[in-house]
């Protein structure tokens, strides 16, 4: 592949992913990536590291927003854009503060590839085409290259095989994983009126598969609730088939955030830098 064709290949997958995540399946993509977070918490090493930092439990909302905004900057602007490049730079700097095994990086990346595809197969108002799935895979794999992750699988099937083997070896019930998962579940429940929060907590359990429930020492949700949650999501998908199609992108970087009432700069995302103010990107139309 020539340098020009490789650049076109990369640009194509960025456009496809942006369209899928912001126009075709914005709500579904967000829910799937939230499930991806839960999968990463179930890893003994990843859950242990997140618990040790204290960030996901002490500042759960900010940690969620920071992760959401960094990923959204990359998806919405592309990994080769100024903002996307700076978001990757910030992400790499944050990760560089810890000793993280390459296979843990690989696993986190695999969840961001696989969970949206799995969610789409179960609850999408239409199925991703093979070309869209291939573009989704290429996008995240190329992001992995920019994160300097080694031994990246070359196909979606290879990533699935790696993910399955990783989970069998690294999913074990620990207090650290449970506490990080429960703090995140409480954040999601807090978005609803107090009267509905018990139902929200149970509904989240209804979406977690047995390996995740075991890793977090959670009881399965009642079968009736599992059936109801799945039916509601399927009914939503059918209803969307008849509604007018979204035309304008829904950008998560434009959503007001409690922790950033005046907007944010990319270098402000994540815990404060260690002895470094970070590099500012010249603004174009102001920071979001």
Alpha carbon of residue 162 to chain centroid: 18
90/79 Cα distance (integer angstroms): 12
pLDDT score recorded for residue 4: 34
pLDDT score recorded for residue 10: 55
Q: Count of CB atoms within 10 A of residue 248's CB?
A: 7
- Spell out the per-residue pLDDT of the chain, length 288, in tens: 333 334 445 568 999 999 999 999 999 999 999 999 999 999 999 999 999 888 888 889 999 999 999 999 999 999 999 999 999 999 999 998 889 999 999 999 999 999 999 999 999 999 999 999 999 999 999 999 999 999 999 999 999 999 999 999 999 999 999 999 999 999 999 999 999 999 999 999 999 999 999 999 999 999 999 999 999 999 999 999 999 999 999 999 999 998 899 899 999 898 765 444 433 333 333 333
Q: Which two tokens stand for residue 172?
A: 């074990």
- HSE-CB for 197 with a 13 A CA cutoff: 11
pTM: 0.89
User: Cβ contacts of residue 198 below 8 Å, gap of 6+?
Assistant: none
If phi > 0 it is left, if psi is from -120 to 50 it is alpha, else beta; for residue 129 that is beta
Alpha helices, H only, 147-174: 156-170
Paired strand residues for 260? 257
By three-state DSSP, how is residue 217 classified?
Answer: coil
Q: Kind and range of the H or E element at 152?
A: none
Contact 280, 56 (CB under 8 A): no
For the chain, the 3-state helix, strand and coil shares in percent, each to the nearest 5, are 70, 0, 30
């Amino acid at each position: 592949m020539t340098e020009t064709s490789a650049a076109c290949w990369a640009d194509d997958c960025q456009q496809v992913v942006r369209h899928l995540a912001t126009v075709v399946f914005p709500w579904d993509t967000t829910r799937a990536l939230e499930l991806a977070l839960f999968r990463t918490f179930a890893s003994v090493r990843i859950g242990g590291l997140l618990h040790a930092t204290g960030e996901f439990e002490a500042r759960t909302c900010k940690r969620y927003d920071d992760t959401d905004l960094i990923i959204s900057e990359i998806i919405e602007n592309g990994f080769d854009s100024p903002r996307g490049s700076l978001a990757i730079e910030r992400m790499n700097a944050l990760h560089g503060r810890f000793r993280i095994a390459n296979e843990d990086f690989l696993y986190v990346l695999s969840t961001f590839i696989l969970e949206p595809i799995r969610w789409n197969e179960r609850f999408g108002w239409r199925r991703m085409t093979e070309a869209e799935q291939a573009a989704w895979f290429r996008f995240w794999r190329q992001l992995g290259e920019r994160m300097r992750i080694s031994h990246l699988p070359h196909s979606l099937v290879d990533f699935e095989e790696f993910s399955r083997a990783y989970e069998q070896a690294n999913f074990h019930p620990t207090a650290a994983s449970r506490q990080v998962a429960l703090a995140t579940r409480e954040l999601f429940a807090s978005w609803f009126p107090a009267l509905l929060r018990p139902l929200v907590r149970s509904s989240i359990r209804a979406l977690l598969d047995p390996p995740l429930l075991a890793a977090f020492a959670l009881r399965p949700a009642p079968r009736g609730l599992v059936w109801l949650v799945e039916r509601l999501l399927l009914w939503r998908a059918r209803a969307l088939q008849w509604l007018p199609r979204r035309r304008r992108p829904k950008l998560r970087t434009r959503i007001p955030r409690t922790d950033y009432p005046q907007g944010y700069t990319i270098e402000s995302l994540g815990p404060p830098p260690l002895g470094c103010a970070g590099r500012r990107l010249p603004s174009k139309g102001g920071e979001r």
